[in-house]
Homo-oligomer: A and B are copies of this chain.
Amino acid sequence: MNHKQIHIKKFGGTSVGSIEKIEQVADRIAKDKLLGQNPLVVVSAMSGETNRLISLATQIAPSCRGQAYDMLLASGEQVSVALLALALEKRNIKATPLLAHQVGIKTDSLFSRARIQEINTKQIKTCLKMNHIPLVAGFQGVTNGNTITTLGRGGSDTTAVALAVAFKQSECEIFTDVPKIYTADPRLIKKATQIPKLSFEEMMEMSSLGSQVLHCRSVEIAAKYKIKIHVRSTFEQTEGTWILPKEEFMENPLVSAVTHDRNTVIIKMYPVPSGTEFIANLFTMLAEKHISVDIISQSYHKEGQRLAFSITAEDLEAAKKIIYEIIEQKKVHIIEGLAKLSIVGVGMANHPGVAARFFKVLNKIGVDMHLVTTSEIKISAIIDKKYLSEAAQAIHEEFILIY
């Protein structure tokens, strides 16, 4: 590689969640610098800060989004990046805090879920040349007109990976408060174990299935540009979990992880007009309001067409408004209090019968599935939330603990 190695390090909200932790992060960066590294640091807002800002906005206008909302949220990273700069200065390490408009992190203008289009490397290169550590505020960008945008919850991961692309690096470190990614949420499943490595595909599925380790878009970009992500603890020196291209695995476990998402709602409609026009219109209208539809089930019966689909609970009110415009309320049935339980593993693609085993486990403990979906490397089922813990334990026993 012709490019000088730069060590891209992203510190998440829990890693900078207090002054004490910011000092620890500064110590870690100082140590890495002393060891000869060339750090380029990305920082999230202090944990709790983004929620505090959202709560202020919600008190004024519950469903507000747009320019002002994104400007508000972007202030969180401005605070943490400035505080980290102060902590490094105290250690006599020159550091320059940089906001998105100063770096030139250009995005489209889709507020609250903007996508990075281009990163100007000039300002950061100037810092590095002067031997200053560039500290970049994550999560934020600017449009061509210099309006502030944000990349969506967890977007700082994407800032870090996009910087790795811009600087032609092959790796990126994501520091968090756990030493490794687990086979399941340890709060739900006590026997969850640590995963040394995952493929990009598995991580993408896990992110979109509710695992909050990495921003889904960051893994997409990493996969596209083959940037290895090292997810590791801010407060320990141990190796964490590597997210790698599939080719780097000698053998793939059948199932790498069990994930869950407690915010699922199912909307059922019966009867809906037959043909695809109604469904196409409905999903277009939902998409226009940025409501993601997850699992879809459609079936034709003699008495009429049935449609069921799942969305996250946060989108329910917005979805209802759209739905009741185009179909009578009595034809709609909403089921709340649901959770989605999934298994992910690249090994599944070559092993038929995994789905059958998955269903058998749920059947054995008497848990019904409302909707099911499968892909090459994952199986998801929507079940009643009250059974989540028991079902997740059983699935974890069946697929993970057999190794």
Contacts and interface: CB of A to CB of B under 8 A. Distances in A.
Contact of A85 (B56, B67, B79, B96): B67
6 residue pairs, one from A and one from B, having the closest CB atoms: A68-B85, A72-B82, A75-B75, A71-B82, A75-B78, A19-B59
A75 B140 CA distance: 14
Interface of A: 19, 22-23, 53, 56-57, 59-61, 64, 66-69, 71-72, 74-75, 78-79, 81-83, 85-87, 89-90, 95-97, 99, 101-102, 146-148
Given A19-B56, A75-B78, A78-B78, A90 B61 contact: yes
A74 B78 CA distance: 9
Given A19-B56, A68-B85, A68-B95, 16 more contacts: A19-B60, A53-B79, A56-B79, A57-B86, A60-B86, A61-B89, A61-B90, A64-B90, A67-B97, A68-B89, A71-B81, A71-B82, A74-B78, A75-B79, A101-B146, A102-B146
The dominant DSSP class at the A interface is helix
Contacts of A66: 89
Q: How many copies does the complex hold?
A: 2
Contacts of A75: 75, 78-79, 82
A67 B96 contact: yes
A96 B23 CA distance: 37
Contact of A64 (B61, B89, B99): B89
